[in-house]
Structure 1
């Protein structure tokens, strides 16, 4: 791929915590080293510059094609609504440039490999690394989009089937339930002696800091339990490989390589009903996400 003809635009969520944004910039720099022939740029959906719209327009400079790659685990409002709308806006401003939208990272075997490795590392830190007495909690952000929460539930089930743990539970830090405290309470009641908390996050930020505070509080609340808290995914090789495969599939025109919501019908209907995003960042909110689910089912 010619660096003068194609731009890879890595889209991060963005964080109020500067260290999280710096990690994404560092990730992009490592990706450039892995793929020196690629022109790789970065933008953020919120909280950090350059914004999604600014990043898209900048990516068109000198480019024949822009490949938009979301660095996001689960598809909810940002992936299904906001990024596609921003791409439409960029298409209108740069009609000479082709825009391709890659799928998000999603629930898949490479992500499972990361979770399995993180679980092994956590178990090795325990005095009694017995999976039959150790509960696991996969802890994610939570969403108003049931499909996004369902992807996390799938990963929890896959993780349980991949090992000997009798209990791999799911918890969320916000928006939906159950929360971490309730899951740990249930595990303690049935005799679990050790708990491994596996954050389902790509990068650090305010939510990761909150998770570590929550686990420290649980240590004080349940002194009879031993807790190990993992870290966010960060610079795992599977993440780089997944993104590279997304780009390669789009370049090759592989069927189903494009993100389904790029130009899908439900967003046009949502616009007609007054639920579209403006070109300034706003959150979709539960109503828009629920609308997405309803329209998606109606159009299936």
Structure 2
């Protein structure tokens, strides 16, 4: 691993505490894997930027493993990170960039949710799942596949326990919102509600969730609410990333081979825009090669900017 850099890509937050948690996560991961060179960058709101991070990771390396610290795949995973990697390839032609899948809806994430739900139930006066509704609360996306991953996790959580109702809500972008789902659960006679945030780290949205739940407690005094926390430093997150590293080093296909991602990016370019975050390209960017995928799509891929 001496010639390999692991680049962890976080979303970034306007709340400094959220970015600080990701830096702390990197320090803990480095302690778990002292022989690895691990760096971090952010898609927005915090330095180093995605483009700077990729070039810094490439310095002195033969190979860069790009690891999205992101739960669901939407525009960042499908468009911005691949485009930034293409730009980095043009500026570091001797370096091999490998792109791992995002964390995804999977059994390790389910284990975290199960543990969070168990903790929340223990905090309630009447820990009876038959009278307790569960709401999985995520950011929300304009990408239906990303919302679908959350819906899958809600279903898995329901099937793995005794709760009759595990519903989905979003803090923005799409529907339903938390207040509407609480209203429905109250109307069918549930006495307690557990809100499980589907977030990796703290930030402005986690602060907003706490305020919303406090407001709901006042609005529904007959209900008991318990609100979980973001995932943070759970061991499953480290293990998922370590599995991503092992898969890439073993030569397993990386996420550049996602037909869904190709389609998503083509639609965006047909609408006349690529990624939304400004950055400065060097002169070589204009000469960046178009990435050619090694599988058939049944269509001609549109040329993409570097």
Map of 2:124 onto structure 1: 126
Map of 1:164 onto structure 2: 162
Q: CA deviation at 1:248?
A: 0.6
Task: Give deviations 1:20-40, integer Å, cap 9, x for gaps.
Answer: 000000000000000111100
Written as runs of structure 1 = structure 2, the 5 A alignment for 1:27-106 is 27-106=25-104
Instruction: Tell me the distance in 2 between the aligned counterparts of 1:71 and 1:25.
Output: 12
Q: CA deviation at 1:276?
A: 1.9
Measured on the aligned residues, the alpha-carbon RMSD in Å equals 2.0
Written as runs of structure 1 = structure 2, the 5 A alignment for 1:261-280 is 261=258, 265-266=262-263, 267=265, 270-271=268-269, 274-277=272-275, 280=278
**Matched-pair contact (CA < 8 Å) for 1:246–1:257:** no
Instruction: Tell me the distance in 2 between the aligned counterparts of 1:245 and 1:169.
Output: 30
Instruction: List gaps (5 residues or longer) in structure 2.
Output: 280-296, 301-306
**Matched-pair contact (CA < 8 Å) for 1:101–1:262:** no
Q: CA deviation at 1:257?
A: 3.9
Q: CA deviation at 1:93?
A: 0.4
Q: TM-score, length-normalised on structure 2?
A: 0.88
Map of 1:258 onto structure 2: 255
2:223 pairs with 1:230:
no
Map of 1:189 onto structure 2: 187
DSSP 3-state at the match of 2:255: coil
Task: Give deviations 1:36-87, integer Å, cap 9, x for gaps.
Answer: 1110000000000000000001001100000000000000000000000000
Map of 1:288 onto structure 2: none
Q: CA deviation at 1:259?
A: 4.3
Task: Give deviations 1:171-196, integer Å, cap 9, x for gaps.
Answer: 00000000000000000000000000
Instruction: Tell me the distance in 2 between the aligned counterparts of 1:270 and 1:129.
Output: 47
Q: CA deviation at 1:279?
A: 6.8
Task: Give deviations 1:140-166, integer Å, cap 9, x for gaps.
Answer: 000000000000000000000000000
**Matched-pair contact (CA < 8 Å) for 2:155–2:166:** yes
Instruction: List gaps (5 residues or longer) in structure 1.
Output: 282-295
Q: CA deviation at 1:208?
A: 0.1
Task: Give deviations 1:190-224, integer Å, cap 9, x for gaps.
Answer: 00000000000000000000000000000000000
Map of 2:291 onto structure 1: none
Question: Kindly tell me: are residues 278 and 225 of structure 1, through their superposed partners in 2, closer, same or farther at Cα, counting changes over 3 Å?
Answer: closer
Instruction: Tell me the distance in 2 between the aligned counterparts of 1:268 and 1:207.
Output: 30
Instruction: Tell me the distance in 2 between the aligned counterparts of 1:243 and 1:97.
Output: 21
DSSP 3-state at the match of 1:220: helix
Q: TM-score, length-normalised on structure 1?
A: 0.90
Instruction: Tell me the distance in 2 between the aligned counterparts of 1:71 and 1:118.
Output: 20
Question: Kindly tell me: are residues 73 and 62 of structure 1, through their superposed partners in 2, closer, same or farther at Cα, counting changes over 3 Å?
Answer: same
Instruction: Tell me the distance in 2 between the aligned counterparts of 1:34 and 1:250.
Output: 19
**Matched-pair contact (CA < 8 Å) for 2:4–2:64:** yes
**Matched-pair contact (CA < 8 Å) for 2:78–2:262:** no
**Matched-pair contact (CA < 8 Å) for 1:16–1:206:** yes
**Matched-pair contact (CA < 8 Å) for 1:160–1:167:** yes
Written as runs of structure 1 = structure 2, the 5 A alignment for 1:233-244 is 233-244=231-242
Instruction: Tell me the distance in 2 between the aligned counterparts of 1:263 and 1:222.
Output: 42
DSSP 3-state at the match of 1:234: coil
2:216 pairs with 1:218:
yes
Map of 1:17 onto structure 2: 15
**Matched-pair contact (CA < 8 Å) for 1:194–1:227:** yes
